[in-house]
Amino acid sequence: MINKVRGRFAPSPTGEMHLGNAWTALLAWLYVRSNGGTMVLRIEDLDPDRSRPEYTEALIADMKWLGLDWDEGPDVGGPYPSYCQDQRRPLYEEALGALSARGFIYPCYCTRAELAASAPHAGENSQRYGGNCRTRRDVPLNRHPALRLTVPDGIVEYNDLVRGPVAQDVSEVVGDFVVRRSDGVHAYQLAVVVDDGLMQINNVLRGDDLLDSTPRQILLYHLLGLTPPDFAHVPLLFGQDGHRLSKRQRDLSLAALRQHGVRAEDINGYLAWKAGMLDQRRPMVAAELIRLFTLEKLPTSPIIVKDDDFANCG
Ligand code: GLU
């Protein structure tokens, strides 16, 4: 029997939803809806310094405005509560306990300066942790340790639905990575695996800025005895300045576009056209796009949003 698709959109409530978030939200939703699956909304409010409840509320309102819906989420509940990471910390601790019991976790007391000093030459594997604390004997007083995963040697491989075969030697590229920060906040890499695993998510469609993280996550799935989902990493949207769209570009927030008279149909149609689902740009209601959905026509080159792309919509 083929498993029913369970997909999700997992935004971090750290700013206003912008066109780039709408792009991944729409594609993730279309993937699920075109397969008759279950859509999950999970709020990734793991970082207490950056997350704000008002952004969660605005996000939910923006998604509804776009015409996207979900079957499970913070506002509607579902069989795998909670749908906010902030409430799921005991589950992350449980996972850490399981990894620790098998000898995969060690404390890391490195300061920023020590990390910078031990990093290999700039340019080559500069994000790789050299493993200082794997064998550290002294325990520095007055320092709270981060927790790292002992990464086993070997290549992690998977087949991305958009990018094709992906392979990474995690121990070579990133080394032992942090699973809980020194301030006690669980790392995204751990939380996302625990959440997607326990929520039975079997399709993760998200931006390709997370392509590099995926082998780390697959490793964690295996170590935790969870089944990895299918992954589809879609290209990000870039501004004309060559930078990827971010929450800092206020003028492309959905709220700002809406204020300028841009309608949800203008945005959905524009994004579907950029994804290759429409030959011409034209307004589309999200639900009308379900029958047109395909990942096959996604461009492989960066997708550029021009400054005046929405100038005539209002
Ligand atoms: N919370 C992440 C973000 O907003 C996305 C994580 C994911 O899709 O795995 O960028």
| Whether residue 41 has its Cβ less than 6 Å from ligand 1 | no
Q: Sketch the domain layout of the chain as residue ranges.
A: 6-86+235-305, 89-197
Residue 9 Cα: closest atom of ligand 1: 8
Residue from 234, 197, 233 nearest 218 by CA: 197
pLDDT of residue 173: 94
Distance CA 176, CA 262 (A): 46
| Whether residue 210 has its Cβ less than 6 Å from ligand 1 | yes
pLDDT of residue 197: 98
The preferred substitution site among 12, 18, 45, 209 for testing ligand 1, maximizing ligand atoms within 8 Å of CB, is: 12
Distance CA 188, CA 45 (A): 10
pLDDT of residue 88: 98
pLDDT of residue 2: 62
- CATH of 6-86+235-305 among 3.40.50.300, 2.60.40.10, 3.40.50.620, 3.20.20.370: 3.40.50.620
pLDDT of residue 83: 98
Distance CA 83, CA 89 (A): 12
pLDDT of residue 245: 85
Burial category of 281 from C-beta neighbours within 10 Å (exposed 0-12, middle 13-18, buried 19 and up):
middle
pLDDT of residue 241: 86
Q: What are phi and psi of 219, to 5 degrees?
A: -60, -45
Q: Which residues of the chain have pLDDT under 50?
A: 122-124
Could you read off the pLDDT of 217-269 as tens digits, one per residue? 999 999 999 999 999 999 999 988 888 887 666 678 999 999 999 999 999 99
Q: Which CATH superfamily is domain 89-197 in?
A: HUPs (3.40.50.620)
Give the residue numbers annotated as catalytic, written as ranges: 247
The yes-or-no answer to whether 6-86+235-305 and 89-197 have a common fold is yes
pLDDT of residue 312: 79
pLDDT of residue 119: 64
Distance CA 181, CA 159 (A): 30
pLDDT of residue 120: 59
| Whether residue 12 has its Cβ less than 6 Å from ligand 1 | yes
